[in-house]
Amino acid sequence: MIVWLQGNFLPLEEARIDPTDRGLTLGDGLYETIRVHGGKPLRFSAHCARLQRGTDLLGLPYPTTDLGGVIAELLSRNDLADALVRLTLTRGRAPRGLASPKLPQPTLLIAAYPFPGPVAPCKAIVATVTRRNQASPLSAVKHLSALDNILAKREAEKHAVDDAILCNTCGDLAESTIANLHIVKHGKILTPRVEDGALPGVMREFLISDFGVLPTRLVAADLLEADEVFLSNASGIRPVIAVDGQTIGSGEEGPMTARIRAAVN
Amino acid sequence: MIVWLQGNFLPLEEARIDPTDRGLTLGDGLYETIRVHGGKPLRFSAHCARLQRGTDLLGLPYPTTDLGGVIAELLSRNDLADALVRLTLTRGRAPRGLASPKLPQPTLLIAAYPFPGPVAPCKAIVATVTRRNQASPLSAVKHLSALDNILAKREAEKHAVDDAILCNTCGDLAESTIANLHIVKHGKILTPRVEDGALPGVMREFLISDFGVLPTRLVAADLLEADEVFLSNASGIRPVIAVDGQTIGSGEEGPMTARIRAAVN
């Protein structure tokens, strides 16, 4: 596997992250996961725009690297046309402590992974172990401090299901550990609001603009009363067929989910 | 600088963190900062106990390494007797995604830094940029997903003060970006409760047991009405003499703070 790190293409095993990198020591950074189909990064400008919102919030310089050019070369060197590209940007090496380094030297790492292909319909739980912090502006950017999502994912693993849906500190639905959440009811598609803790996902934004998905305040009971439930992220659309052991709708992928999945995947 | 990484003492510049380490990619890990005085780690068993609570929460194996022995050797190799030791434990290298690795290979990194010495009294703000998530069990362990604290610290830097005090999502006081908070009023010492988002700091626990500090629900107004305000962490005690530009008490270190600082620093 060839990765790109700080201007160089090199084998993963030769790529070195410094132990004082703030990405490692403090989760101080951002990432993007970008779907590549037929050699082409999908919704690339939307990913760049979100990264820019993240760098603005964290006070990091936006990379001057030609990201599109690096990704194209990385795909070529790894012989990948169908891929997921992960871009990781950290505040870089720094002395101990939380103080902002005077001369920040951000670390930029780009890696490409084979696209794992379509996944089976999802069984989920509503996480009880933790809550998403809708009162933090971090809930609106894709960042490296992901431990709450990991705790929820581990709860899902304990229940032998695929994913967990997080509520915010008020008890409203926010998102799953790796995807935005959508509920189909009476022909409408509803999704939790950003102010309730939903990440403004690139695919979510596309569904709002092109499929009329409506950001709405939602609670866990709405899941069980839904006609269909599905998840979206850069990888695509995934139907949710059960939540907390209760069947959603018909227990199979619903027609609205199938239609959207066919249109975007 | 010599660090200890995965069983080896080596120069920092030769220590390599893999780009797929979950500490870097997802903030998936824990840390402890331990004060060393006269070659002796202070309150070491309390740090180990908190690390154990963290590994239990995250589902990481507690290190089998002789931590005390490694720290002693590390101090010797770096010629340090007065130091801060940072121990970092991550879930280690893993494939892309949030799923728990089937065979976790945790990364353990230990570094020792010269103790920076006593710091001047602190001016602080109450952070407005973000809130601490008291609804997450992560607020009770010392973990690598520290971005909310970094945002608050950056807000303090913009106001040219030393630290920021975080409220939780209900508006109650929780802690500062790097320390526990204490308020002296009518001879009593009050500190935010763990259930309100205070990290159960090792020094805080010592102050509760040995100095009668009382965990109490507190709000920002309590700061301005306090006789004294101070912070505590593994480095010691630090008086807070102003909050949001308003003087606290006499505007100098108060007698209670001075007494406690002399006793523990």
> What are A221-246's pLDDT values in tens digits?
999 999 999 999 999 999 999 999 99
> Confidence class of residue A265 from pLDDT cuts 50, 70 and 90?
low
- DSSP of B126-189, one letter per residue? E--S--B-TTSGGGGS-BS--HHHHHHHHHHHHTT-SEEEEEBTTSBEEEESSSEEEEEETTEE
> Confidence class of residue A101 from pLDDT cuts 50, 70 and 90?
very high
A positions 117-156 inside 8 Å of B (CB): 129-131, 133-138, 143-151, 153-154
How many other C-beta atoms can be found within 10 angstroms of the C-beta atom of residue B148?
Answer: 25
Instruction: Please give, rounded to a whole number of angstroms, the shortest distance from the CA of A47 to a CA of chain B.
Output: 18
Q: Per-residue pLDDT tens for A131-180? A: 999 999 999 999 999 999 999 999 999 999 999 999 999 999 999 999 99
Interface probe for B, chosen from A55, A147, A235 (most Cβ of B below 10 Å), is: A147
B positions 36-65 inside 8 Å of A (CB): 57-59
Q: Which residues contact A186 (CB under 8 A, 6 or more apart)?
A: A227
Query: How far is it, in rounded angstroms, from Cα B130 to Cα A133?
Result: 9
How many other C-beta atoms can be found within 10 angstroms of the C-beta atom of residue B140?
Answer: 18
What interface predicted TM-score (ipTM) does this complex get? 0.96
Using a CB-CB cut-off of 8 Å, the residues of chain A touching B25 are 31, 86, 88, 144
Token look-up 């900062």 returns B33
Query: How far is it, in rounded angstroms, from Cα A99 to Cα A26?
Result: 11
Using a CB-CB cut-off of 8 Å, the residues of chain B touching A154 are 59, 100
Torsion of CA A195, A197, A200, A204, to 10 degrees: -110
Give the pLDDT of residue B265: 67
Q: Residue B137 in contact with residue A151, Cβ under 8 Å? A: yes
Using a CB-CB cut-off of 8 Å, the residues of chain A touching B144 are 24-27, 145, 147
Token look-up 């001047």 returns B120
From the list A100, A109, A145, which residue is nearest B27 (CB)?
Answer: A145
**Which tokens hold the place of A133?**
């912090």
Nearest-10 crossing angle of helices A44-58, B147-158: 60
Nearest-10 crossing angle of helices A202-211, A255-264: 110
